[in-house]
């Protein structure tokens, strides 16, 4: 199980961070995901990648958490990890951070499934097939949803620049 955690822990963590926007909760749910995976390892039938199976468990645990706490996805972006920058790049880093915050704010305006697909693709670096399996849709649906979300964000960005 340790080997699985080393190999897939980051994927599961980034997936959870993309849906819950809370680093501490994502870490707790990641740990719980691997515990649940260990307890149900005999039920893994190999019909999908292990990373997809783990993300499905994580998604289920996240929805259980929402059921216990009030079924609202938090939109606080302050828990994003800080990046270390050199003193020469402080200005560039500040501009990049502001642009990232603008994009994240705009992403919160997208439909929840569209936002989830974009997070899984960009932050989780998952394939469209894996995303489709995680959300229970087709690979093509994931592609189209990602494309439409990206287009909406590009249109909004053009509006910001005016």
pLDDT at position 90, please? Answer: 58
Low-confidence ranges of the chain (pLDDT < 70): 1, 70-100, 160-162
Q: Tens of pLDDT along 33-57?
A: 888 888 888 777 777 788 888 888 8
pLDDT at position 138, please? Answer: 92
SS (H, E, C) 123-156: CCCCCHHHHHHHHCCCHHHHHHHHHHHHHHHHHH
Q: Locate 103 and state its tokens.
A: 């994009």
- Helix/strand/coil for 11: helix
Closest CA to 36 of 66, 6, 1, 68: 1
pTM to 2 decimals? Answer: 0.52
Tell me how far apart the alpha carbons of residues 57 and 61 are, in angstroms, rounded to a whole number. Answer: 6
């Amino acid at each position: 199980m340790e080997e699985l955690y080393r190999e897939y822990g980051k994927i599961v963590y980034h997936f959870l961070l993309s849906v819950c926007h809370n680093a501490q909760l994502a870490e707790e749910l990641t740990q719980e995901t691997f515990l649940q995976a260990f307890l149900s390892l005999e039920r893994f039938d190999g019909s999908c990648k292990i990373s997809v199976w783990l993300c499905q468990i994580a998604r289920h645990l996240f929805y259980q958490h929402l059921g216990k706490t009030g079924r609202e996805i938090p939109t606080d972006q302050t828990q994003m990890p800080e990046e270390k920058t050199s003193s020469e790049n402080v200005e560039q880093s500040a501009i990049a951070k502001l642009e990232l915050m603008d994009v994240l704010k705009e992403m919160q305006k997208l439909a929840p499934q569209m936002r989830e697909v974009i997070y899984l693709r960009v932050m989780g670096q998952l394939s469209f097939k894996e995303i489709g399996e995680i959300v229970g849709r087709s690979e093509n649906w994931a592609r189209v949803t990602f494309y439409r979300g990206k287009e909406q964000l590009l249109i909004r960005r053009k509006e910001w620049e005016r």
